[in-house]
C-alpha cells in the first residue's frame, strides 16, 4: 500500500457517521475515497458548499461548482450552498465536526505550522487558521518526514497556524495523539516498528506498553 | 430600471488609486468581463480587497499582470506565483488576512459594525500589530471593518431593478461585498424582467446595487 493510502485509510476511520468534515486540498482530499457511502459523512468546503462530492466525468462539470482549490466538483443529494460569511460561521462557530489538513511541522505541544515558510513560500493562510481554531477536531494527515527530515519536532520553527492544540496526527508510520503530557504514540503502520517511528521523529514521544498496528479495514 | 453599462463604460467610473472589493474565489463568481476591461484600461495604484488573485492572467490575476494593483488585502495568493513575485519585489503591498476574518471585516464594514472579535490568528504572526481585547477573562483579536469605493461583483441572475441571486459556489464573497462599498457594480450572467426572480431567492436586494453590466453583445 502506498504511504498516502495508509494515511487516507486511517484518517477515514476517524470520521464519524453523520458528521460534517472539511478536507484540505491535496492528500486530505483523498480521504473521501475511503469513507463508507452509508456512513453519511458530509463534506464541506470553505468556498461555500455543504455536501460536496467527487469531480464529475469530463464535460459534466459546472464552473460554478468548485472546491477550495478552484477545481470542479459535484454534490450529494441534499447539498446546500452558502456564502463566505456563513461558511466561516460554520467553521468558527463549532458546527464543523472535523477538519483534516496537512502540516509543515507539528510540535510536542501539539501546535501546528502549515501555512508559510518565511522568505520562501508565502501563499497565505486561506482558511487554515479559521479551520484549526474553530473545528471540533483537527486531524493532521501528512507524511511522517519530508525528504528524510522529521516533521514532528520539539518546537515549531515555522510560524504557527493557531495556538490551539490539534487533536490527532496520522502519518504513513504512526498515529500520534497530542495530550497534556505530550505526544503519545497510539498506533504503528503495518510492519513499522516503534524504533523506526522514534528514529523518524525529533519530538519526544510517550510510548505506552501497547502500541498496536493501525486498523486500515483491509490487509496492507 | 437600474443603470446599465458595457464593461468598458463601467471601468471609466473607476479612477486610478481606487479601493476595490472584488467578488470571487479562485475566479469562480468573479465578474470576468469587467475584470478583463479593467485590466485593459491601464488603471494604476488600485487597492484590491478579495479572497485571492486567482491564477496568473485569470480574472484578478489579469489586474496583477497588468500592473494595476499597488495594494492587496487577501487570504491566499498561493496559486498565483505572479502575485507572490510582485510582493517579494515590493511592487505590491500585500496584507494577508485569514479568510474567515477577511469576510467578517467586509461584513462589519457593510453592516455598520465597529469590528469583529475572533479567536482566529490569536497568538500567531497574523495578529501582529492588532489589538487583543479581553472580555470576561477571555482573549479575542479585534478585526477592524473594511470598506471600499467600489464593489465589483458577479451574480447568476439579476432583474431589471438589480435584485440578485447567485449560483452554487459562485456566491462566496459577492453578497457580503455588495453592502461594503460606496458604488456596487454587478455583472450578472442573465438579466431578467422584474418579477421573474422570486423575492425569497433574492440574496442581494437591488436597492444596494448601483449598476448592472449588460450582457455580452
Across the range A205-219, mean pLDDT stands at: 94
Instruction: Find all residues with CB under 8 Å of A148, minimum gap 6, and list them.
Output: none
User: Is A46 among the residues known to form the active site?
Assistant: yes
Ranking A34-48, A178-192, B68-82 by mean pLDDT, the lowest is A34-48
The tens digit of pLDDT for each residue in A38-96 reads 889 999 999 999 999 999 999 999 999 999 999 999 999 999 999 999 999 999 999 99
Kindly state the DSSP code that residue B133 receives in the 8-state scheme: E
User: Cβ distance A110 to A183 under 8 Å?
Assistant: yes
**Amino acid A220: pLDDT:** 61
| Closest chain B residue by Cα to residue A63 | B28
**Amino acid A115: pLDDT:** 94
- CATH says A3-206 is which class? alpha beta
Specify the CATH number of the domain B4-98+147-213. Answer: 3.40.1080.10
A47–B169 C-beta distance less than 8 A: yes
B169–A64 C-beta distance less than 8 A: yes
B203–A83 C-beta distance less than 8 A: yes
Query: Which three-class secondary structure string do you get for chain A?
Result: CCHHHHHHHHHHCCCCCCCEEEECCCHHHHHHHHCCHHHCCEEEECCCEEEEECCCCCCCCCCCCECCCCCECEEEEEEEECCHHHHHHHHHCCCCCEEEECCCEEECCCCEECCCECCCECCCCCCHHHHHHHCCEEEEECCCEECCEECEECCCCCCCCCCCCCCEEECCCEEEEEECCEEEEEEECCCCCHHHHHHCCCCCEECCCCCCECCCCCCC
DSSP bridge pairs for B186: B153, B212
| Backbone φ, ψ for residue A27 (5° rounding) | -50, -45
| Interface with chain A: mutation pick from B51, B111, B120, highest number of A CBs within 10 Å | B120
CA distance linking residue A173 with residue A101, whole number of Å: 17
A64–B28 C-beta distance less than 8 A: yes
Alpha-carbon dihedral of residues A96, B117, B131, B73, nearest 10 degrees? 70
User: Cβ distance A49 to A82 under 8 Å?
Assistant: yes
Q: Name every chain B residue with its beta carbon within 8 A of the beta carbon of A127.
A: 75, 98-100
The tens digit of pLDDT for each residue in B97-156 reads 999 999 999 999 999 999 999 999 999 999 999 999 999 999 999 999 999 999 999 999
Cβ contacts below 8 Å, chain A against chain B, sum to 146
Catalytic one of A46, A105, A108, A187: A46
User: Cβ distance B169 to B128 under 8 Å?
Assistant: no
B104–A64 C-beta distance less than 8 A: no
Chain A residues in contact with chain B using a Cβ-Cβ cutoff of 8 Å: 45-49, 62-66, 68-70, 81-85, 87-88, 91-92, 116, 121-130, 133-134, 159-164
Write the DSSP string, B78-119. TT-HHHHHHHHTTSSEEEE--HHHHHHHHHHHHHT-S-EEES
CA distance linking residue A2 with residue A212, whole number of Å: 20
> Among A111, A119, A104, which residue's Cα sits nearest to residue A166?
A111
Q: Name every chain A residue with its beta carbon within 8 A of the beta carbon of B52.
A: 124, 126
By 3-state DSSP, what share of chain B in percent is helix, strand and coil, each rounded to 5?
A: 25, 30, 45
Rounded to a whole number, what is the distance in Å from the CA of B106 to chain A's nearest CA? Answer: 9
CA-to-CA separations, B180 to A40, B77, B146, B173, B204, in angstroms, rounded: 38, 22, 7, 11, 12
Q: Name every chain B residue with its beta carbon within 8 A of the beta carbon of A46.
A: 99-100
Q: Name every chain A residue with its beta carbon within 8 A of the beta carbon of B118.
A: 92
**Amino acid A205: pLDDT:** 98
Q: Name every chain B residue with its beta carbon within 8 A of the beta carbon of A161.
A: 124
| Closest chain A residue by Cα to residue B175 | A83
> Among A92, A49, A100, which residue's Cα sits nearest to residue B102?
A92
For residue B29, name the pLDDT band (cuts at 50, 70, 90): very high
- Which among A70, A88, A124 has the least Cβ separation from residue B28? A70
Angle between helical axes of A84-92 and B99-111 (0-180°, round to 10): 120
Q: What is the pTM of this model?
A: 0.97
Sign of the C-alpha dihedral computed for residues A15, A20, A25 and A29 taken in this order? positive
Antiparallel, parallel or unpaired: β B4-5 and B211-213: parallel
> Among A74, A150, A61, A162, which residue's Cα sits nearest to residue A115?
A162
Distance of CA A49 to the CA centre of its chain: 18
The cell for B101 is: 476574518
A91–B103 C-beta distance less than 8 A: no
| Interface with chain B: mutation pick from A116, A126, A157, highest number of B CBs within 10 Å | A126
- Which among A46, A66, A129 has the least Cβ separation from residue B124? A129
Boundaries of every domain in chain A = 3-206
> For all residues of chain A together, what is the average pLDDT?
96
Say how many C-beta atoms besides its own lie within 10 A of residue A33's C-beta.
Answer: 11
| Interface with chain A: mutation pick from B48, B111, B124, B189, highest number of A CBs within 10 Å | B124
| Interface with chain A: mutation pick from B169, B172, B202, highest number of A CBs within 10 Å | B169
For residue B162, name the pLDDT band (cuts at 50, 70, 90): very high
Amino acid at each position: 500500500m502506498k504511504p498516502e493510502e495508509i494515511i487516507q485509510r486511517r484518517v477515514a476511520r476517524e470520521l464519524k457517521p453523520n458528521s460534517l468534515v472539511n478536507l484540505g486540498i491535496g492528500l486530505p482530499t483523498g480521504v473521501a475515497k475511503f469513507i463508507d457511502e452509508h456512513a453519511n459523512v458530509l463534506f464541506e468546503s470553505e468556498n461555500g458548499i455543504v455536501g460536496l462530492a467527487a469531480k464529475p466525468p469530463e464535460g459534466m462539470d459546472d464552473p460554478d461548482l468548485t472546491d477550495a482549490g478552484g477545481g470542479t466538483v459535484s454534490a450529494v443529494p441534499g447539498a446546500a450552498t452558502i456564502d463566505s460569511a456563513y461558511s466561516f460561521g460554520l467553521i468558527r462557530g463549532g458546527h464543523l465536526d472535523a477538519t483534516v489538513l496537512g502540516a509543515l511541522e507539528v510540535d510536542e505541544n501539539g501546535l501546528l505550522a502549515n501555512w508559510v515558510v518565511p522568505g520562501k513560500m508565502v501563499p497565505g493562510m486561506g482558511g487554515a487558521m479559521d479551520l484549526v481554531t474553530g473545528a471540533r477536531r483537527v486531524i493532521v494527515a501528512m507524511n511522517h518526514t519530508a525528504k528524510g527530515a522529521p516533521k514532528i519536532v520539539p518546537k515549531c520553527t515555522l510560524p504557527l497556524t493557531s495556538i490551539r492544540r490539534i487533536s490527532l496526527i496520522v502519518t504513513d508510520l504512526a498515529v500520534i495523539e497530542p495530550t497534556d503530557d505530550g505526544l503519545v504514540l497510539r498506533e504503528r503502520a503495518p510492519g513499522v516498528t516503534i524504533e523506526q517511528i522514534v528514529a523518524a521523529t525529533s519530538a519526544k514521544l510517550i510510548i505506552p506498553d501497547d502500541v498496536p498496528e493501525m486498523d486500515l479495514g483491509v490487509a496492507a | 430600471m437600474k443603470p446599465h453599462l458595457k464593461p468598458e463604460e463601467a471601468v471609466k467610473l473607476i479612477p486610478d488609486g481606487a479601493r476595490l472589493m472584488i467578488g470571487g474565489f479562485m475566479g469562480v463568481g468573479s465578474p470576468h468581463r469587467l475584470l478583463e476591461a479593467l485590466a485593459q484600461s491601464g488603471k494604476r495604484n488600485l487597492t484590491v480587497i478579495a479572497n485571492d488573485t486567482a491564477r496568473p492572467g485569470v480574472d484578478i490575476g489579469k489586474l496583477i499582470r497588468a500592473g494595476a494593483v499597488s495594494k492587496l488585502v487577501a487570504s491566499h495568493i498561493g496559486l498565483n506565483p505572479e502575485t507572490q513575485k510582485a510582493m517579494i519585489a515590493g511592487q505590491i503591498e500585500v496584507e494577508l488576512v485569514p479568510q474567515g476574518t477577511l469576510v467578517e471585516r467586509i461584513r462589519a464594514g457593510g453592516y455598520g459594525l465597529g469590528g469583529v472579535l475572533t479567536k482566529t490568528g490569536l497568538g500567531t504572526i497574523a495578529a501582529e500589530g492588532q489589538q487583543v481585547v479581553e472580555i470576561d477573562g477571555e482573549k479575542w483579536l479585534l478585526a477592524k471593518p473594511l470598506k471600499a469605493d467600489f464593489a465589483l461583483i458577479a451574480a447568476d441572475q439579476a432583474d431589471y431593478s438589480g435584485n440578485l441571486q447567485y449560483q452554487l459556489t459562485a456566491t462566496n464573497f459577492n453578497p457580503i461585498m455588495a453592502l461594503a462599498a460606496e458604488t456596487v457594480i454587478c455583472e450578472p450572467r442573465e438579466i431578467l424582467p422584474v418579477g421573474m426572480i422570486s423575492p425569497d431567492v433574492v440574496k442581494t436586494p437591488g436597492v444596494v446595487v448601483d449598476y448592472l453590466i449588460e450582457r455580452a453583445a
